[in-house]
Amino acid sequence: MSGEQLTVGVLGAGRVGTAVGRQAVRAGHTVKIATSRPAEENRLLTEVVVPGATAADPQDFADADLVIVAVPLNKHRSIDASALQGKVVVDAMNYWVGVDGFLAEFDGTRSTSEVVGELLGDVRLVKTLNHIGYGELEVEAKPAGAEDRRALGVASDDAAAKALVSGFVDSLGFDVVDAGELAAGRAFENGSEIFTGRHTAAQMREVLERDTARV
């Protein structure tokens, strides 16, 4: 797949982190994967599960064009946010009470990504990749222009960050629908119509327009 070649940091080597990592390697990006453990402990796992990617420590994200955060939301306090300051950061996380337990900070009226952005500090946050199953990421990817290509929504308060991440998502094999500001990311949070379904770009725009008309 074509597009700008990026250096991509992935925080979290679980289901989503490794699937995004593999797909990003296929797209020609340079991929570094880190967890809460030292890089040395992730070297073998990375070689086997995400061939072509490098096991890293969060500090190695210094030269990353963007960093994807794919850790369970209830671990957010243990994230090394210092490595993310000033960066374009993709929030791929979801709040699941059944999985994460009750998290008071995520139970208010704001979108989960607005809260994540505040907790992470000076980051250029973009919400996307949270509303596709890890098992679908590789099998549903299609080249640009393909019939029935699946779309993913992006939401951010930072237009340049959103444009960069949109190009990245396209390179992974998906159309991109701009949902607007970070607050609008609520439209594809856990439990929403977009979260639970599969949409082309036209179908997703229809859902977003319907939601807006209802407000």
Ligand X SMILES: NC(=O)c1ccc[n+]([C@@H]2O[C@H](COP(=O)([O-])OP(=O)(O)OC[C@H]3O[C@@H](n4cnc5c(N)ncnc54)[C@H](OP(=O)(O)O)[C@@H]3O)[C@@H](O)[C@H]2O)c1
Interaction between residue 113 and ligand X (CB under 6 A): no
Angle in degrees, CA 150, 132, 179, rounded to 5: 70
Stretch that binds ligand X, among 102-110, 128-136, 155-163, 168-176 (CB under 6 A): 128-136
Per the CB < 8 A criterion, the answer to whether 16 and 70 are in contact is yes
Q: Which residues of 86-118 are buried (b: 16+ CB within 10 A; e: fewer)?
A: ebbbbbbbbbeeeebeebeebeeebbbbbbbbe
Nearer to ligand X, 130 or 166 (CB): 130
As a dihedral over the C-alpha atoms of residue 1, residue 151, residue 164, residue 185, rounded to 10 degrees, the angle is -160
Nearer to ligand X, 58 or 208 (CB): 58
Stretch that binds ligand X, among 15-23, 82-90, 147-155, 173-181 (CB under 6 A): 15-23
- In whole angstroms, give the CA distance from residue 169 to residue 185: 16
Interaction between residue 12 and ligand X (CB under 6 A): yes
In the list 23, 111, 112, 130, the residue contacting ligand X (rule: CB under 6 A) is 130
Interaction between residue 9 and ligand X (CB under 6 A): no
List residues near ligand X by CB under 6 A.
11-17, 35-37, 70-73, 75, 78-79, 92-94, 96, 130, 133-134
